Amino acid sequence: MSEKKESTADSEAKSRAVAEDSREEEWTSPSFVQELFLGNFRLDLIHPYPAQSEADKAKTDAYLEKLEAFLRENVNPTEIDRTGEIPAEVLDGLRKIGVFGLKIPEEYGGVGLSQIGYGRAIELITSWDGNLTALISAHQSIGVPQPLKMFGTPEQKKKYLPRLAAGAVSAFALTEKSVGSDPARVTTTAVESEDGSEFILNGEKLWCTNGTIAELLVVMARTKPKLKNGREIPQITAFIVEASSPGVEVTHRCRFMGLKAIQNAVIKLDNVRVPKENILWAEGKGLKLALMTLNTGRLTLPMSATAGAKICTEITRKWASERVQWGAPIGKHEAVAKMLGEMAANAFAIEAMAELSCLLADRGSNDIRLEAAIAKLWTTEVGWKIVDDTLQVRGGRGYETEESLKARGEVSVPVERLMRDFRINRIFEGSSEIMKLFIAREAVDTHLAVAGELIDPSTSSKDRAAAFARAGAFYATWLPKQYVGWGHWPRYGEFGKLAPWFRYIERGSKKLARNMFYAMSRYQAKLERKQALLGRFVDIGAELFAMAATCVRADALRAQGGPEGEKAVRLASIFCRQARMRVDNLFHQLFNNVDASTYRFAQEVLRGEHAWLEEGVFQMIPDGARLAPEPPATAPAGEAPMAVPSGQ
């Protein structure tokens, strides 16, 4: 092996080791979605529907009423978008009504909402102004309160939670110029002082939301490496940092295509002295803390997507029934009707998936990593399609700003703003591509535990023989189950019109498990490089989860009685019909695709062999200019291992 190759492999192994070390593993009940990937449709994990308690609902409803009145009376979203600023009075007002303590327990001065209660508040806020969602979510979905609640000492909680609940804004600082989706490579350093009482932080953080106004930051920094099996494992530690500390400097406020008023900063840390007692959890636990924080933190985005989906459905429905072209309301033309029919069904599914994931998080015992990750991935992807279709159906008016519409006498419908604000959801808190890798890694976890050593080229022949025997015993019982079992009528008959869909999900889950097993046997260790194939597995799992969520939610609504129950069953059935088409196509494409030739062609494009097709227009990037910052000295080359962490 060449010296370069050695260091690359070593570096990749380090990245993988850090990521593996940081996976959350402490749960008492299994994950519904993980079981789905294993061919076990565990309906008992989501049915009976894990409903919100009456007391929690009453508390949430009372708070939402107050919040709605505040937003209506005090917040002008058009103005915030135009000026790029959230007025100081709005920030103060939000503090007064306790928005910064929504998820902080009452004993520390917070409102103490449950995950679903908080999610409902986020849904309402997003439907009014996405900038406020970014502010509140960066503060308490990922900022100091969430990891502090989960990992803080009693002293830390007593010291900081009341301050945070009262409105001391916080932020989460992980990303750096060279460290985006692969946070294990953080370069900011934290070195212990000589007397051991402090750590001295140096580095620069990028895109830190709330960074310009935050009083408190959670900063991820690299501390002394740990030795594991003779290998140096980099350690990342989380620190609570007072933004007023000497050496903390906001060097730039970043501006974006949407979320114009987001207070997002580049923050320089120059010999910042942080007391040792400000370490969150423990030295070396920073990445795990960040990933565990995100496991629930990322449930905010599905609730935001729910808001976007509902607003868009309302706008499209009203516009498509009023706007007449070619002698008929445009909603009567099939091309537009198709978009609206898919939109309404998807809006129902987005809410079902988001709500179910929050309710499972509130239950506390279930492993919800996969549910939260799929909810983040699927609802933001489908939500984006909904926003795009809304703009399309609105035609030229969709592209026109709300102020321009108003100035010429039309209703100021903010589709253009909505689109700009929504787009980032597919990138932050784990980009869609990284979410797929994370989900795929968790989905095959049982297979890796059972047969991982068999596909690991570094396993010795003695260990391989033992692993072979272990895997043989597991698959001798697991594999036949994926082929047998009754997934047809009259199973699930108690669900009436929804029964066929439960049967379809059960059969789909087994088919998915069989195909994943086949792919593992066929590609072995190379499977982790087959991102397009893994992506299809994830997409199938996501659609099946969406079908299950819509069906159990519709069933719960039907059980409550009232006319909406039957309508919910209709919505769920329509959604499932549409989802079945997608699932069937995805199954077909698993091993009938052009992935390999497209990949080879993309490498030709990367090498510049087709740069000739870019001729005839202005060149965007001057010759010699470098777009990407230099990677850190230890960055791995080549593709990422499947064990990538979940990004932020």
Residues that bind ligand FAD (CB under 6 A): 138, 171-175, 180-181, 207-209, 256, 262, 264, 424, 427-428, 431, 433-434, 437, 531, 640, 644, 647-648
Count of Cβ atoms closer than 10 Å to residue 172 Cβ: 31
Structure tokens at 538: 């994830």
Nearer to ligand FAD (CB atom), residue 175 or residue 366: 175
Is 322 in the active site?
A: no
Beta strand 324-325 with 328-329 is antiparallel
Count of Cβ atoms closer than 10 Å to residue 337 Cβ: 14
Q: Which residue is nearest to ligand FAD (CB)?
A: 180
* DSSP reduced 3-state for 166: coil
Give me the residue label for tokens 């750096």: 176
Please answer whether residues 241 and 201 qualify as being in contact, where contact means their C-beta atoms are separated by less than 8 angstroms. Answer: yes
Enumerate residues 6+ apart whose C-beta is below 8 A from 624.
none
- Which residue type, as a one-letter code, is found at position 332? K
Q: How far is the CB of 373 from ligand FAD (least distance, A)?
A: 14
> ∠ CA(536), CA(538), CA(543), 5° rounding?
95
Nearer to ligand FAD (CB atom), residue 435 or residue 454: 435
Nearer to ligand FAD (CB atom), residue 574 or residue 635: 635
Q: How far is the CB of 528 from ligand FAD (least distance, A)?
A: 10
Q: How far is the CB of 172 from ligand FAD (least distance, A)?
A: 5
User: In this structure, what DSSP letter does residue 641 have?
Assistant: P
CA 488 to chain centre: 34
Nearer to ligand FAD (CB atom), residue 37 or residue 428: 428
Distance CA 42, CA 33 (A): 9
Give the residues across from 266 on adjacent strands.
252
- Which residue type, as a one-letter code, is found at position 411? V
Q: How many CA atoms lie within 13 A of 25 on its CB side?
A: 8
Please answer whether residues 36 and 512 qualify as being in contact, where contact means their C-beta atoms are separated by less than 8 angstroms. Answer: yes
Nearer to ligand FAD (CB atom), residue 175 or residue 482: 175
Closest CA relative to residue 13, chosen from 232, 326, 212, 219: 232
- By the 10 Å C-beta count (0-12 exposed, 13-18 middle, 19+ buried), 312 is classed as buried
Q: How far is the CB of 527 from ligand FAD (least distance, A)?
A: 14
Q: How big is the chain, counted in residues?
A: 648
Whole-angstrom Cα Rg for the chain: 25
Nearer to ligand FAD (CB atom), residue 293 or residue 357: 293
Nearer to ligand FAD (CB atom), residue 366 or residue 379: 379
CA 558 to chain centre: 30
Q: How far is the CB of 287 from ligand FAD (least distance, A)?
A: 12
* DSSP reduced 3-state for 131: helix
Give the residues across from 132 on adjacent strands.
none
35, 355, 429, 453: the catalytic one is 429
Q: How far is the CB of 316 from ligand FAD (least distance, A)?
A: 27
Q: How far is the CB of 380 from ligand FAD (least distance, A)?
A: 12
* DSSP reduced 3-state for 228: strand
Please provide the DSSP assignment of 371-404 as one string: HHHHHHHHHHHHHHHHHHHHHHHHTHHHHS-HHH
Please provide the DSSP assignment of 103-128 as one string: TS-GGGTS----HHHHHHHHHHHHHH
Q: How far is the CB of 429 from ligand FAD (least distance, A)?
A: 6
Q: How far is the CB of 258 from ligand FAD (least distance, A)?
A: 8
Distance CA 125, CA 191 (A): 41
Please provide the DSSP assignment of 411-458 as one string: ----HHHHHHHHGGGGTSSS-HHHHHHHHHHHHTHHHHHHHHHHH-TT
Nearer to ligand FAD (CB atom), residue 174 or residue 538: 174
Please answer whether residues 532 and 595 qualify as being in contact, where contact means their C-beta atoms are separated by less than 8 angstroms. Answer: yes
Q: How far is the CB of 425 from ligand FAD (least distance, A)?
A: 10
Please answer whether residues 75 and 129 qualify as being in contact, where contact means their C-beta atoms are separated by less than 8 angstroms. Answer: yes
Nearer to ligand FAD (CB atom), residue 117 or residue 286: 286
Nearer to ligand FAD (CB atom), residue 168 or residue 171: 171
User: In this structure, what DSSP letter does residue 176 have?
Assistant: B
Nearer to ligand FAD (CB atom), residue 180 or residue 500: 180
Q: How far is the CB of 228 from ligand FAD (least distance, A)?
A: 23
Catalytic residues: 429
